[in-house]
Amino acid sequence: MNIREIKELAERFSKEQLENCITQTVENGKNDCEINGEVLDVVNTLAKAQTVRELMDKGMSQMEAVRELARRIRQVQGG
């Protein structure tokens, strides 16, 4: 997980813009968020940035939001 890239995307784009970029990536292989790579990797990064942005919009600091994302990922992975 590239934390720097996720933080930058969460700062630059709204939750809705990130959702649009996910859709564009799945449909076209390209997106307006200017992130490239394998489709699955791009969608994963955009989805993580979208989660961080959503938490920030709810009042968390960026660092708190990143920690919460990491906690959720660990929880899903069973750790």
DSSP 12-74: HS-HHHHHHHHHHHHHHS--TT---S-HHHHHHHHHHHHHHHHHHHTT--HHHHHHHHHHHHH
pLDDT above 90 for 78: no
Over residues 34-64, the pLDDT tens digits come to 999 999 999 999 999 999 999 999 999 999 9
Instruction: Specify the amino acid at residue 57.
Output: D
Per-residue pLDDT at 79? 63
Would you state the structure tokens that stand for residue 29, as one six-digit string?
């292989």
Cβ density class 41-68: b for 16+ within 10 Å, e for less = ebbebbbbbbbbbbbbeeeeeeeebbee
Per-residue pLDDT at 22? 97
pLDDT above 70 for 16: yes
pLDDT above 80 for 1: no
